[in-house]
Structure 1
Amino acid sequence: MHVADIKKYFPIFNQQVNGHPLTYLDSAASSQKPIQVIEAIKRYYERDNANVHRGVHTLSSRATDAYEQARVKTARFIHARSEKEIVFTRGTTTAINLVASSFAKAICREGDEIVMTPMEHHSNLIPWQQVAAATGATLSYIPLQSDGTIDMQDVKNTLSERTKIVAISHISNVLGVVNPVKEIIHQAHRKGAIVLVDGAQSIPHMAVDVQDLDCDFYTFSGHKMCGPTGIGVLYGKRELLQTMQPIEFGGEMIDHVDLYSATWRESPWRFEGGTPMIAGAIGLGAAIDFLNEVGMEHIEAHDADLLHYAVQQLSSIKDVVIYGPLANRKSLITFNVGSIHPHDMATILDSSGVAVRAGHHCCQPLMRWLDVSATVRASFYVYNTREDVDRLINAILLAKKLFMEDGGDSKDRVL
């Protein structure tokens, strides 16, 4: 499958928005879905709709096979040792909260440290604040360099013998920076710490090998990688998952129940109480098939070319400030243009059919570090083209003409 032909697999692009072709540049929030994923979900509901694990009839057997096959596909996609290391959740947020509530609260004590960075998404910040409040552990932060990158000497200086948990994003959803997680994991393990990696932004854009990283936990969401909403993944080393207690109780996650006590199934099923996200898991499996067919190496190369072009074009516009490093970044650009409020910019872009994100991106501490209240974020994926970047640039120039006195500055080049 050639990347240049990818867009035809996404039905949502067969429309206009405000009289313009849809230019979707908000994939960091949620990606679009190829027809293969939509059809897989439709096929389940039309042909195999039944509960999993509980029935011996044909529909239940087929649904169970499809659900568990999605677990196998996910394990292979991230190179886990076993599908038993894959827990299906509602998304990255739920996966992180599961580790925080079930694992971290059991091992953290007063005086222990939980290490993070100021760039973390609220979903990888607030759960650890709650762990600290409940256990007496303290929060420590690896400082950022002036361009938003992490220096390994700062990592070594922040980690200590008291560090119990390190929670870090693989790629920042604001800065686009690729953090040196493999090196951070190595240093954390030398201190005896457990590492959780927030892979929500990395898993759609690069090949991930959890065994090579040697991370203890890795979390991501299906909806950012061409899959449906409401399905996510917690990868955990088997020996760690087996020590964790479930935090939701009910049907299917039990081994034995009597009137006064109960025992749990082995992981991952002990964490999937009740009717699981069957259609979501099947859709995720179809998304993984799609990404494998395209090839993660081709997706990564396409992303790099598109991002390089976008940075070049944005940098040519007077008054544009790009946040984060210009190199060692993936898939997104966060920026502001002069005194134009990000929400105003996003509104004008939308009038041209260009969809971007504006706001604090669930990273308020990082916004304060950047000394801004909000930014505009354009994020790219496999279905985007240079033509989409050109439309973004022209829409930004239109916004400048509307909001800035020198909007027609000769230094701005219209594509």
Structure 2
Amino acid sequence: MFTLKFIKQHFPIFNIKQSENKYFIYLDSAATSHKPKIVIDSLSIFFKKYYSNINRGLYKISGVSNSIYEKARSLTSTFVGSLSSKNIVFTENSTSSLNTVQRSFMLEKKLFQKKKRIMLSVYEHHSNIIPWKILSLNTGSKLVYVGTTSTGFINFKCFVAKLDRRTFLASLSSCSNTLGLLNKLKKITSLLAKINVISVIDGSQEVLHGKVSVRSLNCDFYTFSGHKMMSPCGIGVLYIKNKWLGYVMPTKLGGGVTFNLKLNQKVVLKTPPYVFEGGTPNINGACGLLASINYLNFLGYKPLRLQTIKMHFFFKKSILNVYVKDLVFIPKLSSNYLFHKNPVFLFINNKHSHDVSHHLNLFNLAIRSGFQCNQPLIEGGLKTHTVSRASYCMYNCFRCIRGFILNLKRNNF
């Protein structure tokens, strides 16, 4: 098993002293993750030696670029447990992936003639609410929101009670970006598959911390962002189940999507996944994604998960040992939760979250403050207007947790 020190040395940003000769403590990995040297180096080599467009040039480096791009697709397919690389579409991020699905169904309004209900949970990220609200307005369909249990997980009984023959689609996050709780969605997706309801799963907060199998999950669509799993910004993934490949409408048409184009004849489009990737794609982003998946495979999910759970319990122990006035964690730091939770900790105290964030920044410590792109849950569910979030990752060590808690205590925080 790799040590935290061994992993941390792979991330250049944490090996450089910042202001006041202090190292940077980054606890905002749920927003975006930092990049290991292997990813940075892969991009540098790509730009220095192989950068060119793909599927267009008949010269050597174009062939190499194309090979890297398709290798990234193939490895991503294996990474999420897909049957084939043709099921993997590269997008800009998870938001783009969700919008691709939404726009495709918006073009097929006839689908909503009989089924007019879309189901979401109340704690979805804004990117998994807004597209469906727009789809609802354009098709006359109804949005149905499912609440959580007292422990913060999606309420399965409530979900089943609200599910009926009018339901067309359900879009859910496998892990909340605010509560950090891992939902066991297989029970839900299996039920949806039996009654022919489309399942869309946002796995953005899941892919960095645990093994994913879209086949086992049996979902119709699965999305995630590369930047949350140590890849560059601007590369995302949309998995499309086989049954939908020939049905989902491409929403971004242009160069690279057609075999034959004549002014007075029907456009002959390419087959998936290429028909969904119009224009010059983010080739360097795919190169970085390839490197980040290789890095995760090198480390292994099992030891990483064990290390995360150790960090969880150290976090809880440290909080109990250091009194911080009016500090409340949501959900509470119960030992039972810690086994079913990613490293995302939401908290409130007697200060505005922006003040907390500013205070910690003085000590080279970064957290997230505000609505966390989850305003319905923060205001509607938690009945507050501002929260703080600390989220760690494999490159954080016990010293980072200790520093976070001790600096919270300073100046009455």
TM-score clears 0.5: yes
Question: Is the CA contact (8 Å cut-off) linking 1:104 and 1:165 kept in structure 2?
Answer: no
Q: Is the Cα–Cα contact under 8 Å of residues 115 and 168 in structure 2 kept in the other structure?
A: no
SS of 2:186's partner is: helix
Q: Secondary structure at the match of 1:147?
A: coil
Shift of residue 16 of structure 1? 3.0
Corresponding position of 1:329: 341
Aligned equivalent of 2:363, options 352, 360, 364: 352
What is the match of residue 190 of structure 1?
194
- SS of match in other structure, 2:9: helix
Separation (CA, whole Å) in 1 of partners of 2:407 and 2:107: 48
Query: Aligned partners of 1:234 and 1:3: how far apart in 2?
Result: 33
Partner Cα separation in structure 1 for residue 408 and residue 116 of structure 2: 48
Alignment correspondent of 1:295 = 300
1:221 aligned to which of 209, 213, 225: 225
Q: d(CA) in 1 for partners of 2:189 and 2:310?
A: 29
1:167-316 map, 5 Å: 167-260=171-264, 261-316=266-321
Report if the CA contact (8 A) 1:201-1:224 is conserved. Answer: yes
Corresponding residue SS for 1:233: strand
State the secondary structure of the residue aligned to 1:171: coil
Which blocks of at least 5 consecutive residues in structure 1 are unaligned? 402-415
- Once the two structures are superposed, residues 40-68 of structure 1 have per-residue CA deviations (whole angstroms, 9 ceiling, x without a partner) of 11111100111001111101000000110
**Closer, same or farther: CA 74–3 of 1 in aligned 2, 3 Å:** farther
1:54 equivalent in alignment to 2:61: no
**CA–CA distance in 1 between the matches of 2:215 and 2:331?**
29
Q: Is the 8 A contact 2:100 2:251 kept in 1?
A: yes
Name the TM-score, length of structure 2 as normaliser.
Answer: 0.94
Cα distance in structure 2, aligned partners of 1:150 and 1:66: 39
Q: What do residues 328-362 of structure 1 show as CA deviations (whole Å, max 9, x unaligned)?
A: 2211101012x211010011111111110001011
> What residue is the counterpart of 1:157 in the other structure?
161
- Deviation, 1:255, is 2.2
User: How many Å apart are 1:305 and its aligned residue?
Assistant: 1.4
Q: Deviations over 1:184-208 (max 9, x none)?
A: 1112223320101000000011000
1:6 aligned residue:
7
Distance 1:97 1:239 in 2: 19
**Contact 1:80–1:209, Cα closer than 8 Å, also in 2:** yes
Question: Which aligned runs of 4 or more in structure 1 are off by greater than 4 angstroms?
Answer: none
Q: Which moved more, 1:272-281 or 1:309-318?
A: 309-318
Offset from partner CA, 1:378-408 (integer Å, 9 cap, x none): 101111111100000011001426xxxxxxx
C-alpha distance 312-160 of structure 1, shift in aligned 2 (>3 A): farther
Shift of 1:105: 4.9
Contact 2:87 2:240 in 1 (8 A): yes
Q: Which residue identity lines up with residue 135 of structure 2 in the other structure? A: V
Provide Cα deviations, 1:98-157, integer angstroms capped at 9, x if missing partner.
Answer: 001113652334761100011000000000001111111100011112332223211211
Q: Name the residue aligned to 1:136.
A: 140
Name the CA shift for 1:363/1:315 in 2 (closer, same or farther; >3 Å): farther
1:260-308 superposed Cα distances (whole Å, 9 cap, x missing partner): 4412111110010110000000100000000000001122111121122
CA contact (8 A) 2:93 2:225 kept: yes
2 CA distance for matches of 1:319 and 1:358? Answer: 17
Q: Does 2:77 match 1:96?
A: no
In the alignment, which residue of structure 2 is the partner of 1:364?
Answer: 375
SS of the residue corresponding to residue 156 of structure 1 reads: helix
User: Partner amino acid for 1:73?
Assistant: L
What residue number does 1:404 align with? none
1:374 matches 2:386: yes
Distance 1:2 1:267, change over 3 A: same
8 Å contact 1:3–1:298 — kept in the other structure?
no
Is the Cα contact below 8 Å between 1:100 and 1:128 reproduced in 2?
yes
Give the distance between the partners of 1:285 and 1:399, measured in 2 at CA: 45
Find the counterpart in structure 1 of residue 40 from structure 2: 38
Secondary structure, aligned partner of 1:286: helix
User: How far 1:25 moved relative to its partner?
Assistant: 0.6
The aligned counterpart of 1:396 is 408
Partner SS, residue 240 of structure 1: helix
CA drift of 1:38 comes to 0.6
Contact kept in structure 2, 1:254 and 1:263, CA below 8 Å:
yes
Tell me the C-alpha RMSD between the 2 structures.
Answer: 1.4
